[in-house]
Amino acid sequence: METNYSLGIIGLGVMGRSLAQNFLRNGYPPLGYVRSANIPPDLGVAATNSLAELVQSLAPPRTLLLMIPAGDPVEAAIASLKPLLQEGDLIIDGGNSYFADTERRVKELEQAGLHFMGMGVSGGQSGALWGPSLMPGGSSAAWPRLQSMFEAIAAKAEDGAPCVAWMGPGGAGHYVKTVHNGIEYADMQLIAEVYDLLRRGAGFSNPELSAIFAAWNEGPLRSYLVEITAKILARLDEQTGEYLVDLIQDEASQKGTGKWTSQNSFDLGVAIPTINAAVESRLLSALKEERGIAAQVLGGAQSYAGDKQALVAAAGQALYASKITAYAQGFSLLKMASQEYGWDLDLAQVALVWRAGCIIRAALLSDITHAYRRDPALSNLLLDSAFKEAVLSRQAAWRSVVQIAAGIGIPMLAASASLAYFDAYRSARLPANLIQAQRDYFGAHTYQRVDQPGTFHTQWE
């Protein structure tokens, strides 16, 4: 049986097929696996419907890439593959699996003499086909034999560097991808809020907004999400001739990675309010019928009557400051997780891997890399000199935009959360002293004093 395949790929859906074609084009022919008795003729890569044949067609040590939904499907695939594999073989989970599941699978398969990796893959169908951002982690022993192959298929940044690097042991790779998606949620929500303020609040047309976002994409806001926003706003519906964005239902779905980011931040005690606000905004968007009733009962937003061009300029400044704050929160979470789980994440390297191929690729990622190279122990991006200046110079515009939105009734949960985070983080004293007094009053939870050491309790009545 032919054994000149570089790897086996289980799951030839949109992402799996695109990655398979990418491997093939770059000189690493894969063999795909499909469950169907009749293999589709248009896959573009060789395939089999026999797991045994798939494994036998790979020369040891074998590499098998799972591109299937997280959870039970991954467990079932591992269970089916284990009896067919031998010591030193490798299973890679390229889906959006929960990082703790990956931690467990690495340990379980190591006991069976097998390697297991959890790899974050970002970039969607186009990225998978032409160059994704890849975030592998897990069994480090297998990485050297894979490095050249994955560097070949990964996206290349402007300096030619491949957007793939070893993240760390255990679930590090999948965790980095989870936080990437959390930042993605925040970035998308921030853009949507500015769009809402300018469209519904200030009355800009879709062509005008498309031009605004296209212009922003030529400056510090240059990023994939700003770029595609400009294109989306210009797109006409082929059936009606109307702008397509106006015909799309205002309910945003989610697959869970944003929620995982929020949930884990609570476990680690890290504040990420912009990301949390983005998750909550999607939850609010799902209340479509209820929101319609509330609009009739409570009324809606007002129109902005001020200088529209000044608002556009301020909105661009506010969007950039809010984006910096969202990235600062995400990287603070990565820093804490690295310490908690013993991953030793290289945050400068994470930013490098995100520079191309992934959904949150943006010009500011190079600045983030420089920040962590200047100070690998940097506790928060807002303390870096470059980002400090970027935010402080935009502070007046940022406040103005949030105030205007609040004044006319346009919700900006994420932008407001970003500004509040900034103000809280730079407050030498917060009102938690009152909260501690309240806790001691009703629950005798004790408190500490600023003028003397020790723990205290007061009989308040």
pLDDT digits (tens, 9 = 90+) for 66-96: 999 999 999 999 999 999 999 999 999 999 9
Q: What is the CATH number of domain 177-425?
A: 1.10.1040.10
Report the relative pairing of strands 133-138 and 115-122 from DSSP bridges. Answer: antiparallel
Which structure tokens are listed for 343? 């991953």
Buried b / exposed e over 266-276, threshold 16 CB at 10 Å, is: eeeebbbbbbb
Indicate the DSSP class of residue 90.
Answer: E
Q: Please tell me if the domain spanning 7-170 has the same topology as the one spanning 432-461.
A: no
What is the C-alpha to C-alpha distance for residues 44 and 19, in angstroms, rounded to an integer?
11
Mean pLDDT of all residues in 99-110: 97
Q: Is 377 exposed, middle or buried (0-12, 13-18, 19+ CB in 10 A)?
A: exposed
pLDDT in tens, 393-451: 999 999 999 999 999 999 999 999 999 999 999 999 999 999 999 999 999 999 999 99
What does the CA dihedral 21, 28, 6, 157 come to, rounded to 10 degrees?
-90
Q: How many helices (H) and strands (E) does the chain have?
A: 19, 7
H helix or E strand, kind and range, residue 93:
strand 90-93
Contact between 409 and 302 (Cβ < 8 Å): yes
Give the whole-angstrom CA distance, residue 65 versus residue 67. 6
pLDDT over 80 (residue 263): yes
- Which tens digit of pLDDT belongs to each residue from 313-366? 999 999 999 999 999 999 999 999 999 999 999 999 999 999 999 999 999 999
- The Cα-based distances of 301 to 191, 307, 411, 457 in angstroms read 19, 18, 9, 48
pLDDT per residue over 21-48, tens digit each? Answer: 999 999 999 999 998 877 888 888 999 9
Q: CB neighbours of 358 closer than 8 A, spacing ≥ 6?
A: 122, 123, 127, 132, 133, 155, 163, 180, 224
63-66 and 7-10 strand pairing: parallel
Residue 3 has pLDDT above 70, yes or no: no
Which CATH fold would you assign to the domain 432-461?
A: 1.20.5
Nearest to 100 by CA among 340, 313, 368: 340
Taking the C-alpha atoms of residue 285 and residue 277, their distance in angstroms, rounded to an integer, is: 12
Query: Using 50, 70 and 90 to split pLDDT, how confident is the model at 254?
Result: confident
DSSP state letters, 21-88:
HHHHHTT--EEEE-SSSS--TTSSSEEES-HHHHHHTBPSSPEEEE-S-SSHHHHHHHHHHGGG--TT
Q: Model's pTM, two decimal places? A: 0.95
CA dihedral 302, 308, 314, 317 (to 10 degrees): 100
Given this model, what pLDDT does residue 376 score?
A: 94
User: pLDDT digit string (tens) for 353-393?
Assistant: 999 999 999 999 999 999 999 999 999 999 999 999 999 99
Mean predicted confidence (pLDDT) in 9-30? 96
| pLDDT above 70 for 18 | yes
Q: Residue 91: name the closest of 62, 71, 68 by CA.
A: 62
Q: What whole-number distance in Å separates Cα of residue 110 and Cα of residue 103?
A: 11
Tokens of 435: 């909260």
Domain range annotation of the chain: 7-170, 177-425, 432-461
Q: Is the pLDDT of residue 65 over 80?
A: yes
Q: Residue 2 has what pLDDT?
A: 62
Sign of CA dihedral 107, 108, 113, 118: negative
CATH superfamily assigned to domain 7-170: NAD(P)-binding Rossmann-like Domain (3.40.50.720)
Residues 154-212 have pLDDT tens digits of 999 999 999 999 999 999 999 999 999 999 999 999 999 999 999 999 999 999 999 99
Please list the active-site residues: 177, 184
CA distance 101 to 80: 18
